[in-house]
Amino acid sequence: MVVSHVQNIGTDEFYLNLCLQSAWQNQLITLPNPAVSALILDQYGTILSLESHQECGKPHAEVLALQKAYAKLSGDCEILRLSDSAQIHQYLLKCSQNLFNKTTIYVSLEPCGSHKCGRTPSCTSLLKALKPKRIIIATQDRSQNAKGGAEELEQCGIPVTKAWETKNLTSIHQCANSLLYPFNALQTKGRFLLYKYACRLDGSINGGQISSKAAQSKMHDYRAKADFLLLSGKTIREDKPTLDARFASLESKRPPNILILTRD
């Protein structure tokens, strides 16, 4: 039994780390929601899905992971046509039956509690109905609107491993908290500031475009989510930037408001 426990801890760390790496890909573009990923294994340890929350108002990571896992387990791909979170919830509740009873679910953040009020339904309520074999969570949700999901899941009989209470998962818990920094800053301070600086490997910043196309697209994603973009008067005068979000990969390419820092 002791050997089995040790192997479980190593496995849990590996899959939670995959969740964190995936969630980092959408860091900031999910604001004001946190960046979250979820991974689902079948009874044989095969990865059925690894999905991340994309944007505020869209399905949470757990819902996207359950959607894809359901399609693989059942062979019913009609669910993949759905993009509305509430519709995916209802489809899973109606059609999954006992399909998830032998699955293991990893989540980078505690699923939102059933008392949650927002644009999407509670993930905890859905998981309680689907009753997976086990759920492993990297860190707790401290927001008043959504916290308490882990306790709810335990109360309905689902085994839950919480990294913040598991000695061998301390480093994973710390990494998961680092991922939440922008979200927590908004929750506690009402603002989050991102400093962006671009230079070449030799340290130069003059003579044309510096960032790659991929980096440029990512920064325009951040612009589309920002309330304000602050830059210097010298940048305005010399670079004459457009300052929009035209290269964003998001559906909304809303340009930020502009603040200019200048002596004049």
| CA distance linking residue 126 with residue 112, whole number of Å | 10
State pLDDT tens for residues 104-139. 999 999 999 887 667 889 999 999 999 999 999 999
* The pLDDT of residue 54 is above 80: yes
Residue 231: pLDDT band by 50, 70, 90 thresholds?
very high
Within 8 A by CB and 6+ apart from 21, the residues are: none
> How much of the chain exceeds pLDDT 90, in percent?
77
Mean pLDDT for the stretch of residues 11-15: 95
Domains and CATH numbers, the chain: 2-189 (3.40.140.10), 193-264 (no CATH)
- At 166-204, the pLDDT tens digits run 999 999 999 999 999 999 999 899 999 999 888 889 999
Cα separation of 187 and 205, whole Å?
Answer: 35
Beta strands 134-137 and 104-107, pairing class? parallel
> What SS3 state is found at 96?
coil
Could you tell me how far CA 247 lies from the centroid of its own chain?
22
C-beta separation of 146 from 113 below 8 A: yes
Other residues' Cβ atoms within 10 Å of the Cβ of residue 151:
14
Global confidence as pTM: 0.89
With CA atoms as reference, report the closest residue to 249 among 214, 212, 213, 221.
221
Report the chain's mean pLDDT, rounded to a whole number: 91
Asked if pLDDT for residue 6 goes beyond 60, the answer is no
Position 10 confidence tier, pLDDT thresholds 50, 70, 90: low
